[in-house]
Chain A
Amino acid sequence: MRGLSIFHLDMTDAYLLTDATVVLARARAGDLTAFEQVYRAYEVPVYNLARRICRTVEDAEDVLQETFFEVCRSIGQYRGDGSLWGWIRTIAASKALMRLRRNKYRDTDEYEEDLHRAPRNDNGLRMDLEAALERLPETSRAVVWLHDVEGYTHEEIAGMMGKTVSFSKSQLARAHARLRRWLGEEPAA
């Protein structure tokens, strides 16, 4: 049990994982049952994040597996500087963004093409938020989710995506402009 006091398990960890400190220590010692408890506690938030970023269910499932495989292999390196969920979430976000890059989705190009196309008359579509979010290009959706929901800063998002801070900011603004239009939230002219 040496070194447990260095873990900074936050309220989220305590809420998701009962006896988080003890379970984590056992998982670090190689106890697979304890690791299953970690998996069960964070399975849904990791999958949710992956599904919001990735295009397909299959990609999100792969990200879920890869994330926890990595978590198990690296759990000895988790020093408890931040929350456990924060650490797992960063691994999941990186894996999901890596998957986006690997699949070579070209949503930025699509957006640039959009700019040069005649504007689509999709004002007043009044889609629901789920459908509108799903309709966003992958990069924009990833940025809006990571920033507005997961709470990452533009600097952090830029670092994970290998892009500039300005890129992250502009993707966020574009995402909101589109959501606003598709949700029918634009004020009447």
Chain B
Amino acid sequence: MNHLTVDQLVQLREPGLEPGVAPLRTHLDSCVACQAEAARLDQRSNRLRALAALRPARDHWPVLAGRLRAERRRRRVRSAAWMGLAAAAGFALMVMIRSARQAPEPAEQVAINEAIARSRQLEQLIHSYNPEARVTDGRTVRVAGELEDRIALVDQQLQSALQLDQRGRDAEMLGLWRQRVGLLNALVDVHLTRAGGVGY
């Protein structure tokens, strides 16, 4: 039998014996030259494993962190927009029920409706500004992210406020909607002035 080829030696290293491999194994066990070749093959693999690790020439974390923050911000904005819509829809439903009962519209309810309308205007303004498509500095991203977090928190509180009884609910919701308008105003300022001198 001829000496084993590299293909055959590689095949013999695999776990489990495939059909037709037994004669190769028998040859290997009795052939010093093929055993030496198999040893060289193993040694080559060991040397590959021992090669020094190649390292990146520069730190890629700052760029990656920027991408991750931007991605997170996109998700937050989407989520906040949906929660705001849900809170407004919940309030609208309550108003409809109240109207159906022909109850007089209290002043607080009027004020809440105004705050909801203002909130929508500001969201549309931010949407038309399209901050996602703009180059933004790190400080703006951070400040905008903090504001979006606070808006998301207000939206959660608005959802909870829907569960209160009517007397406490209107006062609570008016406060929260006004807070939401204030935060959205600050967010507009941040985007339009790029965080320059924003105090909130």
> Given A43-B56, A69-B68, is A145 in contact with B40 using a C-beta cutoff of 8 Å?
no
- Report how many residues on chain A are interfacial, defined by Cβ distance under 8 Å: 41
User: B54 to A185, Cβ gap below 8 A?
Assistant: no
Pick the interface stretch among B6-14, B90-98, B100-108, B110-118: B6-14
Contact present for A179 and B44 (CB under 8 Å): yes
A45 to B56, CA, bound (A): 10
Let me know if B60 and A64 touch, CB within 8 A: yes
Q: With A44-B53, A45-B53, A185-B44 in contact, is A35–B68 under 8 Å at CB?
A: yes
Say yes or no: A176 contacts B6, CB within 8 Å: yes
Assuming the contacts A44-B55, A51-B54, A185-B40, asked whether A176 and B68 have C-beta atoms less than 8 A apart, the reply is no
Interface bracket on B: 20 to 34
**Would you give the 0/1 interface string for A145-177, flagging 1 where the beta carbon is closer than 8 Å to chain B?**
100110000100000000000000110110011
User: How would you classify the secondary structure of chain B's contact residues: helix, strand, loop or mixed?
Assistant: helix
B44 near A176 with CB under 8 A, answer yes
Q: Which residue of B lies closest to A47 (CB)?
A: B56
Using a CB-CB cutoff of 8 Å, which residues 48-105 of chain B contact chain A?
48-49, 51, 53-57, 60-61, 63-65, 67-69, 71-72
Q: Are B56 and A183 in contact, CB atoms less than 8 angstroms apart?
A: no
In the bound complex, what is the Cα–Cα distance between A47 and B60 (angstroms)?
A: 11
Which residues of the other chain, B, contact A176 by a CB distance below 8 angstroms?
A: 6, 9-10, 41, 44
**Chain A residues proximal to chain B, CB less than 8 Å:** 30, 32, 35-36, 39-40, 43-45, 47-48, 51-52, 57, 60-61, 64-65, 68-69, 72-73, 129-130, 133, 144-145, 148-149, 154, 169-170, 172-173, 176-177, 179-180, 183, 185, 187
Q: A154-B14, A169-B10 given; name 4 further pairs at CB < 8 Å.
A: A44-B55, A48-B53, A65-B67, A170-B7
| Chain B interfacial positions (CB closer than 8 Å to A) | 5-7, 9-11, 14, 33, 36-37, 40-41, 44-45, 47-49, 51, 53-57, 60-61, 63-65, 67-69, 71-72
